[in-house]
Amino acid sequence: MLRAPIKDQTVLVTGGAGFIGSHIVDACLTQGAKHVIAVDNLFLGNENNLKDALETGNATFYKDDIEIRTSLDYIFENHDIDVVFNCATKALNYSFLNPENAFSTNVTGALNLLELQRSGKFKTLCHFSTSEVYGSAVYEPMDEAHPKNPLTTYAAGKAAADLAVESYVRMFDLDAFIVRPFNNYGPRQNHKGMLAGIIPITAYRILNDITPEIHGTGDQTRDFIHVFDTINAVMKLYDKMKPAESINISTNNQVSMNNLVTSICNIMSYKGDVLRKPERKSDVECHNACNKKIHGMIDYQLTPFDEGLKSTLDWYKDNI
């Protein structure tokens, strides 16, 4: 065992009101964390995602910005934090609107945390990277050694943050590691506006009598993993990851946008048209992940995609 269990630790989750971050908050509470603090500027997050956590009395929410160093300072002054899960980010599509800030949120947030860690303010950093850092595949399946060829400033910022984590570990012996999920889906993923992911936006459109859309040929493929599988994997990996190590969290299962939208339409009994929109610039063609490493490290359980998609769509029906 490389580090003390989450039980009885005080944990900070950045982006804690977001999709993955709010599930990390819940998982830490389930594991018996002493206290869990979520910080989120609510750029895309929603305080409702923390409802259950806040009701336990063992969680605190700060609506604040991790790019502002003094905002993190006062949180660390108020709490004796042991572990940080860094989930804060601006959604990939935001890089088409505001490329500079999509990049700098990822980099500045990570650097602020690494500086706090370097000054001894907390022990362990679990940093969230993304499959987007790899860009389109140079070889397949993409393992952790795949070159990083980011195609958006979002991905470039994530890649830069990964390098910052690795270099701070080498220079200052910090306890920080990197988890790299592929495309997550499941309850609480944002369904509003142009920053929404394909599953929630398609569900939202169908539920609101708006025609669903596919960009480009629809042959683009992604590796979709249920968020509960990602969270279970991160919690199991927590005491196994060496400092500076990174790991793919993926399924080995490719789903094309055409097949995905068809499945959503079938499950939701939608019989109308699907609008064809122009290809989005910098859309990664294929994300075929290698998950050999994670299989070798933990008892890795994956939800069958059809099952996960159906329960996710049920959740949107109840929550939109």
Ligand X SMILES: NC(=O)c1ccc[n+]([C@@H]2O[C@H](COP(=O)([O-])OP(=O)(O)OC[C@H]3O[C@@H](n4cnc5c(N)ncnc54)[C@H](O)[C@@H]3O)[C@@H](O)[C@H]2O)c1
Is the CA virtual torsion 40, 35, 165, 222 positive or negative? negative
Alpha-carbon distance of 272 to 209, in angstroms, equals 10
161 binds ligand X (CB under 6 A): no
**Which residues, 6 or more positions from 158, have their beta carbon under 8 angstroms from its beta carbon?**
89, 106, 129, 130, 132, 133, 150
User: Which candidate, 230, 244, 204, places its Cα nearest to that of 294?
Assistant: 230
* Integer CA distances (angstroms), 187 to 122, 203, 230, in order: 30, 12, 13
Report in angstroms how near the CB of residue 127 gets to ligand X at its nearest: 8
Instruction: Count the residues of the shown chain that bind ligand X, applying the rule CB under 6 A.
Output: 32
Interacting span for ligand X (CB under 6 A) from 65-73, 169-177, 211-219, 287-295: 65-73
Q: Which residues of 80-103 are buried (b: 16+ CB within 10 A; e: fewer)?
A: ebbbbbbbbbbbbbbbbeeeebbb
Report in angstroms how near the CB of residue 73 gets to ligand X at its nearest: 14
Of the residues 40, 175, 223, 245, which one makes contact with ligand X according to CB under 6 A: 40
**DSSP letter string over 183-203?**
EEESTT---SGGG--HHHHHH
18 binds ligand X (CB under 6 A): yes
Of the residues 6, 9, 11, 15, which one makes contact with ligand X according to CB under 6 A: 15
28 binds ligand X (CB under 6 A): no
Alpha-carbon distance of 9 to 35, in angstroms, equals 7
309 binds ligand X (CB under 6 A): no
Of the residues 150, 157, 181, 186, which one makes contact with ligand X according to CB under 6 A: 181
Considering the complex, state which of residue 20 and residue 84 has its C-beta at the smaller distance from ligand X: 20
Do 294 and 249 contact (CB within 8 A), yes or no?
yes
Considering the complex, state which of residue 32 and residue 74 has its C-beta at the smaller distance from ligand X: 74
26 binds ligand X (CB under 6 A): no
Considering the complex, state which of residue 270 and residue 316 has its C-beta at the smaller distance from ligand X: 316
**DSSP H helical ranges for 37-87:** 51-55, 69-78
Of the residues 9, 10, 12, 21, which one makes contact with ligand X according to CB under 6 A: 21
Report in angstroms how near the CB of residue 5 gets to ligand X at its nearest: 23
Structure tokens at 144: 């952790």
91 binds ligand X (CB under 6 A): yes
Alpha-carbon distance of 317 to 190, in angstroms, equals 14
Alpha-carbon distance of 65 to 80, in angstroms, equals 19
Alpha-carbon distance of 112 to 104, in angstroms, equals 11
Considering the complex, state which of residue 33 and residue 39 has its C-beta at the smaller distance from ligand X: 39
Report in angstroms how near the CB of residue 318 gets to ligand X at its nearest: 19
Considering the complex, state which of residue 131 and residue 152 has its C-beta at the smaller distance from ligand X: 131
Looking up tokens 């009701």 gives 55
Q: Is 42 left (phi over 0), alpha (psi -120 to 50) or beta?
A: left
Report in angstroms how near the CB of residue 163 gets to ligand X at its nearest: 15
Structure tokens at 115: 């500086």
3 binds ligand X (CB under 6 A): no
90 binds ligand X (CB under 6 A): yes
Of the residues 60, 89, 124, 202, which one makes contact with ligand X according to CB under 6 A: 89
43 binds ligand X (CB under 6 A): yes
Of the residues 88, 111, 125, 169, which one makes contact with ligand X according to CB under 6 A: 88
Of the residues 25, 37, 38, 41, which one makes contact with ligand X according to CB under 6 A: 41
Residues that bind ligand X (CB under 6 A): 14-15, 17-21, 39-45, 65-67, 87-91, 105, 109, 128, 130-131, 158, 181, 183-184, 190
